Structure 1
Amino acid sequence: MHRMLAAVLTALAAAALAVGAGCGIVAALEVPPEQPNVPLVTFDRTGE
């Protein structure tokens, strides 16, 4: 009985850790970058 309880608790802990890691990865990917998205090269279009 003790082994069954240990196995169930281990499985629950692993599932909770996997869900937490997944939520952390999603939260990290949704953070906007700190660097502004500006082009390094621009072309003058006044001749059009």
Structure 2
Amino acid sequence: MHRTLAAALTALTAAALAAGVALGLVAALDATPEQPNVPLVTFDRSGE
């Protein structure tokens, strides 16, 4: 019974840790500011 309890607690801890890391990663990605969508090079097409 002791090994079963230890295995269950280990699995529960691993699942909680994985969920926490996933939520932390999503929060970190949401916290970064959006980058402006400005092109580095533009071409003048008025001569066509």
Q: Does the TM-score normalized on the shorter chain lie above 0.5?
A: yes
Which of structure 1's runs of 4+ aligned residues deviate more than 2 A? 35-41
Give the match's secondary structure for 2:31. coil
Q: TM-score, length-normalised on structure 1?
A: 0.67
**Aligned twin of 1:15:** 15
Q: How many residues align?
A: 48
**Gapped regions of structure 1 (runs ≥ 5):** 42-48
TM-score normalised to the size of structure 2? 0.67
RMSD: 2.5
Displacement of 1:36 in angstroms is 7.1
Question: Aligned equivalents of 2:10 and 2:18: distance in 1?
Answer: 12
Structure 2 distance, partners of 1:4, 1:12, is 12
Aligned to 1:45: none
Richer in helix (by share): 2
